[in-house]
Amino acid sequence: MSHHIEFAGLKKVFGTGPDAVQAFGPVDLSIAEGEFISLLGPSGCGKSTLMMMTSGLLEATEGTVTIGGSQVKGPQTDIGVMFQDNTLVPWRTVRGNVELQLEMRGKSLKEFSDKIDNLLASVHLEDFADRHPYELSGGMQQRAAFCQAMVHDPKTMLLDEPLGKLDAMTRERIRSDLQRLWMQERATVIFVTHSIEEAVQLSTKVAVITPRPGTIERIIEIDLPFPRDFDVKNSPEFAAYVREIQEIFRGYGVI
Number of residues that bind another protein (CB under 8 A): 27
Interatomic CA distance for residues 172 and 198, integer angstroms: 9
Q: Does 79 bind another protein (CB under 8 A)?
A: yes
Select from 9-17, 51-59, 177-185, 214-222 the region that touches another protein (CB under 8 A): 51-59
**Residue 167 is a binding residue for another protein (CB under 8 A):** no
Nearest Cα residue to 173 out of 130, 229, 135? 229
- The whole-angstrom separation of Cα 37 and Cα 20 is 29
Alpha helices in 4-161 (DSSP H): 47-54, 94-104, 109-122, 138-150
Contact with another protein (CB under 8 A): which of 30, 87, 113, 246?
Answer: 87
For another protein, the binding residue among 71, 77, 118, 235 (CB under 8 A) is: 77
Q: How many residues make up the chain in this entry? A: 255
Strands 156-160 and 70-71, bridge-based pairing: unpaired
Interacting span for another protein (CB under 8 A) from 6-14, 77-85, 136-144, 234-242: 77-85
Counting contacts by CB under 8 A, is residue 89 touching another protein?
Answer: yes
Shortest Å, Cβ 59 to another protein = 13
What is the pairing mode between strands 62-67 and 5-14? Answer: antiparallel
Can residue 118 be called a binding residue for another protein (CB under 8 A)?
no
Give yes or no for residue 85 binding another protein (CB under 8 A). yes
